[in-house]
Amino acid sequence: MNFVLISSESRYPVNRRKIKETVLAYLKRLKIEDAEISVAIVGSRKIKDLNRKWRNLNEPTTVLTFALEEPRDINGVLRLGDIVIAYPEARLIAQEDNLSMDEAIEKLLLHGLNNLLGSHRNDDSLSQVSTSDLSGAGQ
**pLDDT at residue 126 tops 70:** no
Domains parsed from the chain with CATH numbers: 3-123 (3.40.390.30)
75: burial class by Cβ within 10 Å (0-12, 13-18, 19+)? Answer: exposed
The C-alpha atoms of residue 91 and residue 33 are separated, in whole angstroms, by 32
What is the average pLDDT across 10-17?
93
Mean pLDDT of 93-106: 96
Mean pLDDT, the chain, rounded, equals 87
Instruction: Tell me which DSSP letter residue 12 carries.
Output: S
Q: Give the global pTM.
A: 0.84
